[in-house]
Amino acid sequence: MKWQTKALILRQLSKIPMGKRLYLLMQKLAGSNRAQPERDFARIAELLEMIQQSGQTAQGGVFFEIGSGWHPYAPLGCYLAGAKKIITVDVNPWMSLATARECIEASKPHIPHFAQTVGLDETVVAERYAKIRLSASTLDQLLASMQTEYHSPGDASATGLEPESIDFVISSNVLEHIPAPILEAITEESFRILKPGGLSVHRFNPGDHYANDDRSITTANFLQFSPAEWKKYGEGLAYHNRMRCPEFSEIFRKAGFIPLIEKDRLDPEALKAIENCSIELHADFKNFSHEELAADYMWYTGQKPVPTDSSNPPEQTEENPLLENR
C-alpha cells in the first residue's frame, strides 16, 4: 500500500468517534495484529538480556510496563523469568481476553527457546507457564494468574504508585509514539517510582513506520517534512514523534538516569537516501549526523543512581565512568 493511502485512512479513523474500534476491526480482518510469538518473545528477551547485562535479574522483580498493546508478551516474558509483579499500562484499551489468550496459547511452542535465550531453567519456566489460567473468564483473572495487572486507559506519567516501589520500567516499540513533553513527564515519573539502582529499559523504533508497508520509501522518509506537514501523516493513530536517538538519551539524562546501555541500529537504505539527497532534509533535522538520522532502532537502559555515602565514596575507574553510581 502507498504510504500516503495508509496515512489518509489512519487520519480519517483518528477523527471519527468509532475510529479506534474500526481500526481494531480492520487490523483483525487484515490479520496485522495477530500474535507473533517468535518476534515478540525475541523482543522481550532483548529487554531481559539488557537487565542481565546491567548486572541485575528479573527474578523477584516488580515491573512497570509502558504501552501494553494488544498482546501481553512483555508481562508473559517477565512472569516466566520469575517477576514478582508486572503492572502494565496503555492509553488505548487494545488488549482483550481473546488477544491475551491468543498470545499465551501461541507462545507455548516457543517457551523452550525463550528459556534458553535468556538463560532460564526450561523446567521452571514450563512449570510457571502451566500455572497460567487460560480458562479464566475475564482478562483480569487471566493476567492475575501470571502476576500481571493491566490498566487501560492508564497514565504512565501519573501512576499513583508509591515512590521507589518498582525495580524495572520497561517498554517495547512505544517511546517513538509519545510526544516529547509527555515522554519527559513519563520519564520523570519512572524515576520517581523506581527504587534506587532500579532500571529504565527500553527498545524502540525511531524510523518512519510507513516504510514497513511501502517499499518505495525508507525509514528516513519522514525527515523531509516540516512539523505542520508531518501532522497530516503522523498524528492520531499514526502518531510518531520523529525524535532522533540523542534526543531520547537527553530526556533520560535530564530526569537523572545514568546511561548503562545506549545502542542503535543503522538502516543502510535510509543512510543512502540521506547521503545521495534523494530526500531533502527539513531544517529541524540538519543538525544531526547522517548516522543519527538513519538510526531505525534504539536500545536504552538507564539506572536511577544509588545515593552514595559521602564518607565512603565509590571507586571510579577510567574504563567504566558510567558505572560510577552502581
Ligand X SMILES: C[S@@+](CC[C@H](N)C(=O)[O-])C[C@H]1O[C@@H](n2cnc3c(N)ncnc32)[C@H](O)[C@@H]1O
As beta bridge partners, residue 86 has 63, 148
Pick the binder of ligand X from 10, 47, 178, 211 (CB under 6 A): 178
Q: Is the dihedral of CA 155, 161, 163, 167 positive or negative?
A: negative
Closest to ligand X by CB, 61 vs 67, is 67
Return left, alpha or beta for 164; rule: phi > 0 is left, psi -120 to 50 is alpha, else beta: left
325 binds ligand X (CB under 6 A): no
Q: Does 189 bind ligand X (CB under 6 A)?
A: no
CA-to-CA distance for 25 and 19, rounded, in angstroms? 10
CB of 174 to ligand X, least distance (A): 4
Considering the rule CB under 6 A, would residue 177 count as an interface residue with ligand X?
A: yes
Q: How far apart are CA 322 and CA 313, in angstroms?
A: 15
- Site residues for ligand X, 57-116, by CB under 6 A, read 66-67, 69, 89-92, 94
**Other CB atoms within 10 Å distance of the CB of residue 153:** 9
Percent helix, strand and coil across the chain, each to the nearest 5: 45, 15, 40
How many chain residues bind ligand X (CB under 6 A)?
15
- Give me the least distance between CB of 41 and ligand X, in Å please: 11
Question: Distance between alpha carbon 48 and the CA centroid of its chain, in Å?
Answer: 13
List the x/- string, 256-295, binding to ligand X by CB under 6 A.
----------------------------------------
Closer to ligand X by Cβ: residue 69 or 302:
69
When binding is defined by CB under 6 A, the residue of 106, 174, 201, 238 that contacts ligand X is 174
Shortest gap between Cβ of 182 and ligand X (angstroms)? 5
For residues 245 and 262, give the distance between their C-alpha atoms in angstroms, rounded to a whole number: 9
Q: Which part of the chain contacts ligand X (CB under 6 A), choosing from 123-131, 176-184, 287-295, 298-306?
A: 176-184
- How large is the angle between the packed helices 122-130 and 73-80, nearest 10 degrees? 120
CA atoms of 135 and 292, how far apart (whole Å): 47
182 binds ligand X (CB under 6 A): yes
Mention every residue, 6+ apart, whose C-beta is less than 8 A from residue 281.
Answer: 223, 224, 274, 293
* Contact stretch for ligand X (CB under 6 A) within 1-9, 125-133, 142-150, 173-181: 173-181
- The residue within the footprint of ligand X, chosen from 13, 156, 255, 260 (CB under 6 A), is 156
Q: To the nearest whole angstrom, how small is the minimum distance from the Cβ of residue 290 to ligand X?
A: 26
Q: d(Cα 112, Cα 120) in Å, to the nearest integer?
A: 9
* 314: amino acid identity, one letter: P
Chain residue at closest Cβ approach to ligand X: 69
Nearer to ligand X, 239 or 306 (CB): 239
Binding positions for ligand X, rule: CB under 6 A = 66-67, 69, 89-92, 94, 156, 172-174, 177-178, 182
